[in-house]
């Protein structure tokens, strides 16, 4: 099996205070911690599990800054074999289609069976890059995958649907799978492994090296214009219900009925 | 397997063990877990058994309290055999997600709590804190600790220290955002490579400071620096040692009257491991109105709270009452109104136990700095 796994370096905004910069379209990142996107971490684990089971090799692919190399080295410490990091200011990175084109351009011309990526990026939350990548590569895809079984020339995957439903599909290889969280348990990358991974090949490339025309992946090619980022105003309110338990229950019930919730 | 040329047996001096069993006999977690450290030392002689031993869940029950090391007549550290076995699991990458995330956070952000490095000094906001950089001469260089820096429950330890130092006019300086985890829990969780890296990097960084002494707020940092950082230039002391000497010299004193019965819980990393027993007691006695009580199990015999040894990130399969609950019940039986501690982990574990037992109305857990802070306010 020859697998590519596409990963993204994202800020952890779960607890951090998010401030929009005066330009209105970027966020102050100075106080964030950064790490591999959660769903991508599961994609890395899945790629390594497939390699351990079926053999082959895994290439990490990421578009991101120099600082993201620690994340790439961690993926290689876990078992990925080599990596390509794309860095080029001309990429319209806010548009998942442009990102998909760059990723596809990095893969095209090479043999592959599977391309794995997280189903969702924690920063922009488009859930579109993986599917767009399949389109750009002209191959099959399955999204929201939480179980992968490699068969002869195809994969059988479980897709997580809403309402607790699962869909099982078989698709012909080569294919792109977008991996949902929770399907495996991403391993730890021990520091000795990370040090050993320094010996593995990590190529840093730009659009010119990949033979990608900047005009096709830049702001002018993108049909997505990022107009504004803002923190939504808090509109919810809390009301404390006073009284004896029976009174409280009665008041609560009447609020729920009036609100159309019961 | 040990990763260097030493065998596991050589690395942990297993042949030095006479199998007397004092380690297991003294181990506080045996009352609630199946851990038998003597048996692990015995079985680890057989290199071919190591993989199997490392997969046993009990290796994660150890709290690294060091009771076994204190009691070993041969001067061995049986607990480190368990840490060695943990290392094998860590090297395979197949650790609990909580352990994985804590270790990775130390590497990426310099703390095990998955907090951004850039927010490490947020606790300083609104305070007149003196910070120093490398090369600036300072008498007392303060090392805060990851838990005290980030956990709102114990930030008072650092905040009150700043107020006290400012009032007393002591020459001090805190390290700003560049302060990085001492690795106490990294060591105990068995991430040898990461710990070696921390020792190397932090030794180099801390040696750039021109400090007469380094003062740690947590006993975990205190013991880790003294036990595992042989090349540090400045001596490392715990804050109770500094304050004890300042009180003795008449440089600080407390106003007000506490009028409480206080029992001191010896943190394992301060007492058993750091040999500091008297300073916190003298410090508590120096507070007007304090009636200091003693646990039956005190000083070297102090009962572990189960907060160390990486246990903040490992829920073991132990059964029965938590040791912290036993400790709080003992304190209540003594009639103490305050359980005083000098360790952020002890605060968290003992307070959880106290709340769980529903004793909040009658007693409380307090870090010594919290008590002192109340009196600094009144000065």
List, for residues B215-233, the tens digit of each pLDDT value: 999 999 999 999 999 999 9
DSSP state of A198: G
**What DSSP line would sit under A33-60, residue for residue?**
EEEE-HHHHHHHHHHHHHHHHH--EEEE
Please tell me whether the peptide bond between B83 and the residue prior to it is cis, using omega within 30 degrees of 0: no
The answer to whether the beta carbons of residues B209 and B135 sit under 8 Å apart is yes
Distance from CA of B240 to the nearest CA of A (A): 33
Q: Is A248 on the interface with B (CB under 8 A)?
A: no
Instruction: Give the model confidence (pLDDT) of B8-20 as tens digits.
Output: 999 999 999 999 9
In a domain, residue B316? The reply is yes
Q: For chain A, what percent of residues have pLDDT higher than 90?
A: 87
- Could you tell me the two tokens for B58? 């009990």
pLDDT on residue A202: 97
User: Residue B114 corresponds to which tokens in the numbers above?
Assistant: 């998955």
Give the domain CATH number at B145: 3.40.50.1860
CA B106 – CA B180 distance, rounded (Å): 8
**Does residue A227 sit within a domain?**
no
- Please report, for the domain that includes residue B349, its CATH number: 3.40.50
Tell me, rounded to whole angstroms, the distance of Cα A255 from its chain centroid. Answer: 41
ipTM field: 0.91
The yes-or-no verdict on residue B378 having pLDDT over 70 is no
Whether A188 and B118 lie within 8 Å, measured CB to CB: no
Are A175 and A181 contacting, i.e. CB atoms less than 8 angstroms apart?
Answer: no
B318 with B63: CB under 8 angstroms?
no
Helix, strand, or coil (residue A127): coil
Other CB atoms within 10 Å distance of the CB of residue B204: 10
Question: Distance from B11 to chain A by nearest Cα, in Å?
Answer: 19
Segment holding B143, helix H or strand E: strand B137-143
Which pair of structure tokens corresponds to residue A114? 């599977």
Shared-domain flag, residues B238 and B341: no
Closest-approach residue (CA) in chain A for B98: A188
How far does A215 lie from chain B, in Å, by closest CA? 36
Cβ–Cβ gap B108/A35 under 8 Å: yes
Cβ–Cβ under 8 Å, residues B30 and B45:
no
Q: What does the pLDDT look like over A30-49, one tens digit per residue?
A: 999 999 999 999 999 999 99
Q: Which of B208, B227, B246 is the last residue of a domain?
A: B246
pLDDT at B54: 96
Q: C-alpha dihedral over B350, B352, B354, B355, to 10 degrees?
A: 160
Helix (H, G, I), strand (E, B) or coil at A85: strand
State the pLDDT at residue B4: 56
Cα angle, residue B213 at apex, residues B207 and B215 outer, rounded to 5°: 105
Q: Is residue B259 part of a domain?
A: yes
Alpha-carbon gap, residue A104 to B132, rounded angstroms: 50
CA distance A198 to A212: 28
Q: Which of B316 and A137 is assigned the larger pLDDT? A: A137
Residues in Cβ contact with B353 at an 8 Å cutoff, skipping those fewer than 6 apart: B322, B324, B325, B327, B328
Higher pLDDT, B176 or B204: B204
The residue whose two tokens read 């680890």 is B44
Place of tokens 């010594």: B368
Nearest chain B residue to A78 by CA: give it. B93
Residue B60 belongs to domain with CATH number = 1.10.1060.10
Ranking A24-33, A132-141, B139-148, B367-376 by mean pLDDT, the lowest is B367-376
Q: Are residues B87 and B118 in the same domain?
A: no
CB A192 to CB B3 under 8 A? yes
Residue A175 falls inside a structural domain: yes
> Is residue B84 domain-shared with residue B55, that is, in the same domain?
yes
Q: Residue A70 is nearest to which of B108, B191, B193, comparing CB atoms? A: B108
A187–B103 CB contact, under 8 Å? no
CATH number of the domain that A130 lies in?
A: 3.40.50.620
Q: Are residues B237 and B305 in the same domain?
A: no
Residue B360, domain extent: 252-378
Structure token digits, residue B6: 């030493």
Looking at residues B281-286, what average pLDDT do you find?
96
Q: Which residues of B touch A189 (CB under 8 A)?
A: 93, 104
> Strands B236-238 and B210-216, how do they pair?
parallel
Closest Cα to residue A116, out of A150, A91, A90, A89? A150
Q: Which of A40-49, A106-115, B212-221, B318-327 has the lowest mean pLDDT?
A: B318-327
Test B91 with A31 for CB contact under 8 angstroms. no
B91/A33 CB distance under 8 A: no
With respect to residue B75, please indicate whether it lies within any of the assigned structural domains.
yes
Residues B122 and B227 in one domain: yes
Answering whether pTM is above 0.90, one says: yes
Instruction: Give DSSP secondary structure letters for B64-102.
Output: ---HHHHH-TT---HHHHHHHHHHHHHHHT---HHHHHH
Q: Does B119 touch chain A (CB under 8 A)?
A: yes
**Residue A236 falls inside a structural domain:** no
Same domain, B87 and B178: no
Residue B29 resides in a domain: yes
- Which chain B residues are Cβ-neighbours of A31 within 8 angstroms? 116, 118-119
Alpha-carbon span B169 to B251, nearest angstrom: 9
What integer best gives the mean pLDDT of chain A?
A: 95
Of B246, B262, B280, the domain-final residue: B246
Q: Kindly report the nearest CA distance between residue A256 and chain B, in angstroms.
A: 34
Q: Quick check: A23 and A123 in contact, CB under 8 A?
A: no
Instruction: Classify burial at B30, counting beta carbons within 10 Å of its beta carbon; exposed 0-12, middle 13-18, buried 19 or more.
Output: middle
Same domain, B27 and B156: no
- Please check whether residues B372 and B313 belong to one and the same domain: yes
CA distance B253 to chain A (A): 39
Q: Which residues does B129 contact at the CB level (< 8 Å), separation at least 6? A: B162, B174
Instruction: Tell me the three-class secondary structure of A131-163, residue by residue.
Output: HHHHHHHCCEEEEEEEEEEECCCEEEEEEECHH
Whether B93 sits inside 8 A of A33 (CB atoms) is: no
Residue B70, token pair as written in the block: 């204190």
Using the predicted structure, report yes or no on whether residue B355 has a pLDDT greater than 50: yes
Helix (H) / strand (E) element for B329: namely helix B323-334
* Domain co-membership, B48 together with B177: no
Chain A CB contacts of B193 under 8 Å are: 190-192, 195
**Around Cβ B51, how many Cβ atoms within 10 Å?**
13
Q: Is residue B3 a part of any domain in this protein?
A: no
Residue A57 CB burial class (10 angstroms; 0-12, 13-18, ≥19)? middle
Query: Is residue A229 one of the residues assigned to a domain?
Result: no
Task: Give per-residue pLDDT as tens, A212-261.
Answer: 999 999 999 999 999 999 988 888 778 889 889 999 999 999 999 988 88
Q: Give the H or E element holding residue B348.
A: helix B344-357
Smallest Cα–Cα separation from B221: which of B129, B317, B100, B110? B110
Interatomic CA distance for residues B89 and B348, integer angstroms? 28
DSSP-derived 3-state class of residue B40? helix
Structure tokens at A61: 């692919």
Residue A14 lies in a domain: yes
In 3D space, the residue among A63, A64, A61, A60 whose CA is nearest the CA of residue A79 turns out to be A60
Residue B1 lies in a domain: no
Nearest CA in chain A to B198: A191
Q: Which residues contact A219 (CB under 8 A, 6 or more apart)?
A: A92
Cβ distance B201 to B221 under 8 Å?
no
Domain total in chain A: 1
> Any bridge partners for residue A246, and if so which?
none
Count structural domains, chain B: 3
Asked if the structure places residue B2 within a domain, the reply is: no
Residue B188 has pLDDT above 60, yes or no: yes
Is B191–A195 a contact, with Cβ atoms under 8 angstroms apart?
A: no
Residue B61 at interface with chain A, using a CB cutoff of 8 Å: no
Six-digit token pair at A247?
A: 């009174």
One domain for residues B128 and B208: yes
Out of B92, B126, B158, pick the residue that ends a domain. Answer: B92
Host domain of residue A52: 2-217
Element (H, E) at B345: helix B344-357
Is residue B376 over pLDDT 70? no
In a domain, A230, yes or no: no
Task: Write out chain A residues lying below 8 Å of B96, CB-based.
Answer: none
Residue A172 lies in a domain: yes
Q: Does residue B200 share a domain with residue B136?
A: yes
What's the whole-number average pLDDT of chain B? 94
Query: Would A112 be classed as within a structural domain?
Result: yes
How confident is the model over B110-166, as pLDDT tens digits?
Answer: 999 999 999 999 999 999 999 999 999 999 999 999 999 999 999 999 999 999 999
Q: Do B124 and B219 share a domain, yes or no? A: yes
Q: Cβ contacts of residue B293 below 8 Å, gap of 6+?
A: B261, B262, B263, B334, B335, B336
């Amino acid at each position: 099996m020859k697998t590519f796994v596409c990963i993204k370096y994202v800020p952890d905004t779960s607890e951090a205070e998010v401030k929009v910069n005066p330009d209105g379209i970027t966020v102050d990142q100075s106080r964030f911690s950064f790490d591999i996107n959660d769903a991508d971490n599961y994609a890395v684990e899945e790629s390594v599990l497939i390699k351990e089971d079926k053999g082959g090799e895994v290439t990490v692919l990421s578009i991101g800054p120099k600082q993201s190399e620690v994340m790439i080295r961690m993926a290689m410490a876990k078992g990925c074999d080599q990596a390509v990091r794309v860095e080029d200011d001309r990429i319209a990175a806010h548009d998942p289609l442009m990102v998909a084109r760059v990723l596809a351009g990095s893969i095209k011309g090479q043999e592959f069976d599977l391309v794995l990526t997280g189903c969702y990026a924690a920063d922009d939350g488009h859930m579109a890059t993986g599917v767009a990548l399949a389109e750009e590569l002209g191959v099959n895809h399955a999204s929201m995958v939480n179980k992968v079984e490699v068969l002869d020339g195809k994969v059988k995957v479980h897709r997580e649907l809403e309402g607790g439903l699962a869909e099982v599909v078989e698709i012909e290889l080569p294919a792109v799978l977008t991996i949902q969280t929770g399907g495996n348990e991403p391993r730890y990358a021990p520091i000795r492994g990370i040090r050993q991974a320094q010996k593995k090949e990590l190529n840093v490339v730009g659009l010119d090296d990949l033979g990608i025309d900047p005009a096709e992946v830049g702001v002018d090619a993108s049909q997505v214009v990022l107009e504004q980022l803002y923190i939504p105003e808090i509109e919810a309110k809390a009301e404390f219900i006073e009284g004896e338990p029976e009174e409280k229950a009665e008041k609560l019930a009447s609020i729920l009925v009036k609100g159309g919730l019961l | 397997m040990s990763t260097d040329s030493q065998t596991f047996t050589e690395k942990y001096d297993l042949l030095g063990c006479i199998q007397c069993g004092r380690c297991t006999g003294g181990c506080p977690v045996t009352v609630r877990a199946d851990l038998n450290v003597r048996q692990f030392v015995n079985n680890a002689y057989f290199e071919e058994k190591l993989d199997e031993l490392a997969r046993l869940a009990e290796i994660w029950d150890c709290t690294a309290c060091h009771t076994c090391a204190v009691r070993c007549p041969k001067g061995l550290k049986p607990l480190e055999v368990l840490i060695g076995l943990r290392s094998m699991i860590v090297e395979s990458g197949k650790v609990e997600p909580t352990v994985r995330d804590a270790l990775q956070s130390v590497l990426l952000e310099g703390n095990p709590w998955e907090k951004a490095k850039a927010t490490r000094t947020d606790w300083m906001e609104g305070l007149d804190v003196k910070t120093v950089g490398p090369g600036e001469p300072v008498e007392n260089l303060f090392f805060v600790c990851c838990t005290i820096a980030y956990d709102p429950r114990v930030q008072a330890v650092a905040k009150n220290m700043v107020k006290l130092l400012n009032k007393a006019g002591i020459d001090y300086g805190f390290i700003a955002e560049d302060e990085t985890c001492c690795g106490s829990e990294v060591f105990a969780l068995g991430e040898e490579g990461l710990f070696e890296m921390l020792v190397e990097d932090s030794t180099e960084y801390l040696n750039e400071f021109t400090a007469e002494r380094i003062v740690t707020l947590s006993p975990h940092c205190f013991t880790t620096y003294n036990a595992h950082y042989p090349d540090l230039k400045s001596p490392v002391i715990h804050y109770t040692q500094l304050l004890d000497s300042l009180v003795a010299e008449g440089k600080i004193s407390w106003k007000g009257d506490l009028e409480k019965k206080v029992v001191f819980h010896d943190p394992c990393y301060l007492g058993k491991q750091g040999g500091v027993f008297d300073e916190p007691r003298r410090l508590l006695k120096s507070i007007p109105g304090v009636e200091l009580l003693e646990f039956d199990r005190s000083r070297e015999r102090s009962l572990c709270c189960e907060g160390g040894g990486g246990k903040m990130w490992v829920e073991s399969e132990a059964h029965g009452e938590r040791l912290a609950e036993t400790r709080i019940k003992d304190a209540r039986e003594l009639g103490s109104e305050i359980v005083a501690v000098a360790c952020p982990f002890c605060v968290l574990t003992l307070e959880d136990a106290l709340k769980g037992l529903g004793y909040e109305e009658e007693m409380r857990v307090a870090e010594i700095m919290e008590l002192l802070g109340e009196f600094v306010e009144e000065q």
